[in-house]
């Protein structure tokens, strides 16, 4: 029987406090969940529960500048800084681990697997992200994140913004879920629970850092890797997958029907099924 999920914190770049949910037996293989930019660890709640229930030790943390984790005083949110934060999260892990990263979290996972030389990283699961994402899809994400920096008057306004970004989503967003991604500003408005300085990151700098990491420390035939793509994604193209396979020829790809870039939010049951199946295959209990 799975034990309780508890809160824990780690020290990241500049001693910034990173908040995590942790569950399962630390003596068993570990799965680290890393959300996308502008999200929080709560996007992985159901996935974490499922992984703990089948026997994994799971760490699900808010990236620096997101959710309950602190904002970096220097605005250090580069992929190199995020890899350093991940090293802190992995520092006490004594078992093989799988990194599951969506979008920004997936970029961090690839970079860390190359640069950290952490022998315990035994598998990667990338959620709708490649080393060269589609410029059109990335720009649409940036427009969404930049559009409401002054906040929302109500939760319904925030829901409308999410629906406009995800018009293909079959079910209405959960207001409670969206509230976990918002904070109340001093003026009473609801603002996204992330540091606006994250928008200073550019796709070009992230892509360049990944290309350099993959060239310097190839993952070819070294770390089993799965890419879960939303079948409706405008971020991951066939060309982007072909490019990633040049670096990671062992890459496996699964498309989730009726899902866009936010795969877990669009089709969470199918997403969780794919993650659990792959992790169980690569990191048997």
Over residues 216-234, the pLDDT tens digits come to 888 888 899 999 999 999 9
User: Residue 234 domain-assigned?
Assistant: yes
- For residue 36, what is the DSSP state? P
What is the bridge-based pairing of β-strands 182-184 and 190-192? antiparallel
In a domain, 63, yes or no: yes
pLDDT reading at 1 higher than 60: no
Q: Does residue 104 contact residue 134 with C-beta atoms inside 8 Å?
A: no
C-alpha 60 chain-centroid distance: 10
> What tens digit of pLDDT does each residue of 126-158 get?
999 999 999 999 999 999 999 989 999 999 999
Confidence of residue 166 (pLDDT cuts 50, 70, 90): confident
In a domain, 11, yes or no: yes
d(CA 276, CA 91): 24
Per-residue confidence at 268, pLDDT binned at 50, 70, 90? very high
Contacts of 194 (CB under 8 A, 6+ apart): 37, 38, 65, 66, 67
Structural domain containing residue 50: 6-134+202-282
Q: Is 183 helix (H, G, I), strand (E, B) or coil?
A: strand
Domain count, the chain: 1
DSSP for the chain reads -----EEEEEE-GGG-EEEEEEES-TTS-EEEEEPPTT--GGGGHHHHHHHHHTT-EEEEEPPTTBTTSPPPTT---SHHHHHHHHHHHHTT--S-EEEEEETHHHHHHHHHHHHT--TTEEEEEEES--SS--HHHHHHHHHHHHTTTT-BSSHHHHHHHHHHH-TT-SSPPPHHHHHTTEEE-TTS-EEESB-GGGGG--HHHHHHHHHHHHHHS--TTTS-EEEEEETT-SS--HHHHHHHHHH-TT-EEEEETT--S-HHHHSHHHHHHHHHHHHHHHS--
pLDDT tier at 168, thresholds 50, 70, 90: confident
Cβ count within 10 A of residue 150: 9
Q: H or E segment at 105?
A: helix 104-115
pLDDT band at 171 (very low <50, low <70, confident <90, very high): low
What is the mean pLDDT of the segment spanning 149-172?
A: 86
- Specify whether the CB–CB gap between 79 and 206 falls below 8 A: yes
> Does 188 map to a domain?
no
Residue 150 lies in a domain: no
pTM: 0.95
Kindly state the average pLDDT of the residues 30-37: 97
Please report, for the domain that includes residue 62, its CATH number.
3.40.50.1820
Look at residue 255 and tell me if it is in a domain. Answer: yes
Instruction: Report residue 173's pLDDT band, with 50, 70 and 90 as the boundaries.
Output: confident
Average pLDDT of span 64-76: 95
**229 found inside a domain:** yes
Q: Indicate whether 183 belongs to any domain.
A: no
Average confidence score pLDDT of the chain: 93
């Amino acid at each position: 029987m799975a034990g309780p999920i508890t809160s824990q914190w780690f020290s990241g770049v500049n001693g910034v406090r990173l908040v995590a949910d942790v569950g399962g037996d630390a003596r068993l293989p570990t799965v680290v969940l890393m959300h996308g930019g502008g999200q929080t660890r709560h996007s992985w709640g159901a996935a974490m529960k499922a992984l703990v229930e089948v026997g994994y030790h799971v760490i699900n943390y808010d990236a620096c500048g997101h959710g309950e984790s602190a904002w970096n005083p220097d605005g250090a949110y580069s992929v190199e800084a995020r890899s350093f934060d991940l090293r802190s999260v992995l520092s006490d892990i004594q078992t093989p681990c799988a990194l599951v990263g969506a979008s920004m979290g997936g970029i961090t996972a690839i970079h860390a697997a190359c640069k950290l030389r952490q022998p315990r990283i035994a598998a990667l699961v990338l959620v709708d992200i490649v080393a060269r994402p589609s410029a059109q899809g990335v720009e649409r994400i940036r427009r969404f994140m930049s559009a409401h920096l002054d906040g929302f008057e109500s939760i319904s306004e925030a829901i409308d913004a999410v629906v406009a970004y995800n018009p293909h989503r079959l079910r209405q967003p959960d207001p409670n879920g969206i509230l976990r991604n918002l904070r109340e500003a001093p003026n009473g408005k609801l603002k996204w629970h992330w540091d606006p300085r994250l928008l200073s990151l550019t796709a070009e700098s992230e892509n360049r850092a990944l290309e350099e990491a993959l060239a310097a420390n190839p993952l070819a035939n070294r770390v089993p890797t799965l890419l879960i793509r939303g079948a409706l994604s405008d971020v991951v193209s066939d060309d982007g997958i072909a490019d990633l396979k040049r670096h990671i020829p062992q890459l496996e790809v699964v498309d989730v029907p009726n899902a866009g870039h936010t795969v877990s939010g669009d089709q969470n049951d199918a997403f969780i099924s794919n993650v659990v199946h792959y992790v169980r295959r690569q990191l048997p209990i």
